Amino acid sequence: MHKYIIKRLLFLIPTILGVAFIIFFVLNLTPGNPGRAILGTSAPQADVDQLNEELGYNLPLLQKYVNYIRKVAVEQDFGTSYFTKQGVFDEVWPRFMITMRLACVGIVLSTLIGVPLGILAAVKQYSPLDTIPSLISFLLAAIPAFVLGMVLLFLFSLKLNLLPSYGLNSWQSYIMPALTISIPTAAINLRFTKSSMLESIRQDFVRTARAKGASERVVIWKHALKNALLPVVTNIGLNLGGLIAGSVVAEQLFSVPGVGSLIVDRIKYKDEPVIIAGTVLIAVCFTIIMLLVDLIYAYIDPRIRAKYASTKG
């Protein structure tokens, strides 16, 4: 188990290198430059060229990439923002933690709503407890997040005046952004959990448990659910990574100062250090989440624990 964890953590190294290079390459292809974006369209070209030279923007792509990796690896320095002249890590990390809190609230809500309803829909298949939640989930999964967010803004802020419409001044400020990202995910969780549970319920070991006289409650919660949880755990882990990377819609809509909105705002200035640091941080977080999912797998499934034990031996 320890060797596996170390191996997966070492996998972060090529992940960071690859993500950083891709972002450098993509930004190198996009038109514009930070000097012109910062100084404005009316600035003399000589001043723009001088600023780009000071920022190191005119260096060749590979040289900029190597310099960046060396500074991060040796000096633990993520650079300085082209736009604000502040340290990149000090600027990105607080925004990343806001995104993490929002994503965690969203994944908790989507799991608490979607997974129980999915189990109920599978157990009560073809009944109203299956049909109604399934129809609602199809509808909610098809609604774009920005449309759902605008509906919530109109209803709870404009009409009812119950919740703040922007910022993060209190715990109430998290409610609408979290609902915006969690409701479509809850609908997906419901459908996925229902499908996994139905597949598990139809297995031979479930029929055997019933034939031995086990109660329906024991059959569902002890036998069927435990086996159905494996793909559900994977789906929840992927959803959490997706919410971290994709919460930019809610952040922009509700003026949440998260890392997604920061990256989007700095793209127009071609603020490479901030864009790369934020993207790499998201990629590393996603990889760690997948490692945690694998460890939860080993806890749920004894066959995987046995595999780790035999590998260790």
pLDDT tens for each residue of 235-279:
888 888 888 877 888 888 888 888 888 888 888 888 888 888 888
Which residue from 77, 60, 75, 51 is spatially nearest to 24, judged by alpha carbons? Answer: 60
Query: By residue range, what is the domain housing residue 40?
Result: 2-75
Same domain, 216 and 302: yes
Residues 130, 22: one domain?
no
Q: Any idea what the CATH number is for the domain that residue 99 is in?
A: 1.10.3720.10
Number of CB atoms found within 10 A of residue 120's CB: 18
**Res 112: pLDDT:** 92
Q: Looking at the domain assignment, is residue 88 inside a domain?
A: no
Lowest-pLDDT range of 7-16, 68-77, 246-255: 7-16
The residue ranking higher by pLDDT, 8 or 289, is 289
The band of 32, judged by pLDDT with boundaries at 50, 70 and 90, is: confident
Tokens 């995987």 sit on residue: 304
**Number of domains composing the chain:** 2
Q: Are 242 and 181 in contact (CB under 8 A)?
A: no
pTM for the complete prediction?
A: 0.80
Question: What share of the chain has pLDDT > 70, as a percent?
Answer: 94
Task: Examine the domain organization and report whether 69 and 187 are in the same domain.
Answer: no
Residue 191 located in a structural domain: yes
Same-domain pairing of 65 and 102: no
**CA–CA distances in Å: residue 148 to residues 79, 217, 230, 239, 243:** 37, 37, 30, 18, 15
199 lies in the same domain as 297: yes
83 falls within a domain: no
> Are 196 and 121 a contacting pair, CB within 8 Å?
no
- Comparing 172 with 5, the larger pLDDT belongs to 172
Q: pLDDT tens digit string along 268-277?
A: 888 888 888 8
Average pLDDT, the chain: 82
Residues 169 and 229 in one domain: yes
258 with 223, same domain: the answer is yes
Percent of the chain with pLDDT over 90: 3
Count Cβ atoms below 10 Å from residue 94 Cβ, excluding itself: 13
Average pLDDT over residues 35-49: 83
Do the domain assignments include residue 81?
no
If asked whether residues 122 and 22 sit together in one domain, one would say: no
CA atoms within 13 A on the CB side of 52: 19
Name the DSSP letter for residue 171: G
CB 106 within 8 A of CB 276: no
Q: What is the mean pLDDT of residues 224-239?
A: 80
Is the model more confident about 89 or about 290?
A: 89
What does the pLDDT read at residue 10?
A: 79
Domain membership flag for residue 80: no
pLDDT (tens digit, 9 = 90+) per residue, 141-181? 888 888 888 888 888 888 888 888 777 777 888 888 888 88
Q: Do residues 227 and 297 both lie within one domain?
A: yes
In a domain, 85, yes or no: no
100 neighbors 244 (Cβ within 8 angstroms): yes
Region of poorest pLDDT, from 83-97, 125-139, 208-222: 208-222
- Domain contains 87: no
The answer, yes or no, to whether residue 311 has pLDDT greater than 60, is no
